[in-house]
A = this chain, B = another copy of it.
Amino acid sequence: MTELKNDRFLRALLRQPVDMTPVWMMRQAGRYLPEYRATRGQAGDFMALCTNPELACEVTLQPLQRYPLDAAILFSDILTIPDAMGLGLYFEAGEGPRFRKTVATAADIDALPLVDPERDLTYVVDAVARIRRELNGSVPLIGFSGSPWTLATYMVEGGSSKDFRRTKQLAYNQPELMHQLLDKLAQSVTAYLNAQIRAGAQAVQIFDTWGGALSHAAFAEFSLRYMTRIVAGLIREHESRRVPVIVFTKGGGQWLPRLADSGADCLGLDWTTDIGAARGLVGERVALQGNMDPAILYAAPARIRAEVAAILAAYGRGSGHIFNLGHGITPEVDPAHAGAFIEAVHELSPAYHRPPA
């Protein structure tokens, strides 16, 4: 194995000393980059890009060629698992993800196969291996999956939803069916993330994008429980290194102590949370990732820099912070503004990691 040249990201995830705060951006390989749009145009559509390991590798590496990011993240979609279960994922222009088949009844859920990633999602496993090889030890590679609850919402609704009416109806009226669905998803996600780790992912993130739509009690029952089960089933050491796990529940800022019980090494924070208060609550147990409002990237570079400074100051001295946005970078952002953001983190953060004079 090639030696890792920049392990700042992995060290911060384990709250080990670093020289500066590592930084990456959710959706950093994305539509805000003209080179991404060019490759996507060449691929045809989004799914063609996801399922082509060579092109997926190419777009994964694009932001790293532009910016001194401290991690790469596999380019893929969170909905590959339901697609591999046979639901037929597709994207309509301006519409977001859709499924040709949805899940509504006991028979539908019974009929869903468990996913064997090496057989059913070869294109992802191949992409991970290829990206890892091409990175050549420059920075670590992050693998990822959607959380069972998040995947379930798309499978039941057939796409995005404003209020998750059908999903919640199933959860509240037939909880045993919902648990059967979530159990299949948790088994499949565990296998999927382990396959990514075996193929070369050096950290993994679970995206619980819609966990925050649940009530305080329902979150524990329908989302957290299954993420905890997944974390317990993951390969936690590979290539003689700890494989850190990040759990990110968007809108989960009120649930950090429970999320820290999940066994994750790091919790992702959206921008509604005060990262200093979060560190006070759970900073002895987990690292924290986040948490700048992606909309700040629409502002002028000086304003971006001021926001970075404020978040660094709120987290305070020492390791355990991975700088990121509180959600994915949006297509309308000027790439120069993303550059100003990353530069600000690297320029302003060393002061927080130097030993006191």
**A215 close to B (CB within 8 Å):** yes
Contact A310 B217, CB 8 Å, known A163-B330, A272-B251: yes
Size category of the binding interface on chain A: 20 to 34
161-197 of chain A: CB within 8 A of chain B = 163-165, 168-169, 172-173
- Chain B residues, Cβ within 8 Å of A272: 212, 214-216, 219, 251, 254
For A166, give the chain B residue with the smallest CB separation.
Answer: B298
288-308 of chain A: CB within 8 A of chain B = 292-296, 298-300, 303
- Bound Cα distance from A293 to B168, whole angstroms: 10
Copies in the complex: 2
- Bound Cα distance from A271 to B163, whole angstroms: 13
For A306, give the chain B residue with the smallest CB separation.
Answer: B172
241-296 of chain A: CB within 8 A of chain B = 251, 253-254, 271-274, 292-296
Closest Cβ–Cβ distance, residue A204 to chain B (whole Å): 26
Contact A299 B254, CB 8 Å, known A272-B216, A273-B216, A293-B168: no
Contact A295 B216 (CB under 8 A): no
Contact B172 A296 (CB under 8 A): yes
- Bound Cα distance from A216 to B326, whole angstroms: 12
For A302, give the chain B residue with the smallest CB separation.
Answer: B173
Selected from B163, B299, B332, the residue in CB contact (under 8 A) with A173 is: B299
**A48 close to B (CB within 8 Å):** no
- Bound Cα distance from A217 to B296, whole angstroms: 12
Contact A300 B173, CB 8 Å, known A168-B293, A330-B163: yes
- Chain B residues, Cβ within 8 Å of A4: none
**A218 close to B (CB within 8 Å):** yes
- Chain B residues, Cβ within 8 Å of A292: 215
- Chain B residues, Cβ within 8 Å of A216: 271-274
- Bound Cα distance from A122 to B216, whole angstroms: 42
- Bound Cα distance from A295 to B213, whole angstroms: 10
Contact B303 A172 (CB under 8 A): yes
Contact A172 B217 (CB under 8 A): no
28 contacts between A and B (CB under 8 A): A163-B295, A164-B295, A165-B295, A165-B298, A165-B332, A168-B293, A168-B295, A168-B296, A168-B298, A168-B299, A169-B299, A172-B295, A172-B296, A172-B303, A173-B298, A173-B300, A173-B303, A212-B272, A214-B272, A214-B293, A215-B271, A215-B272, A215-B293, A215-B326, A216-B271, A216-B274, A217-B274, A254-B274
- 10 closest pairs, A vs B, by CB? A172-B299, A168-B295, A215-B271, A216-B274, A169-B298, A215-B293, A253-B254, A173-B299, A172-B303, A254-B254
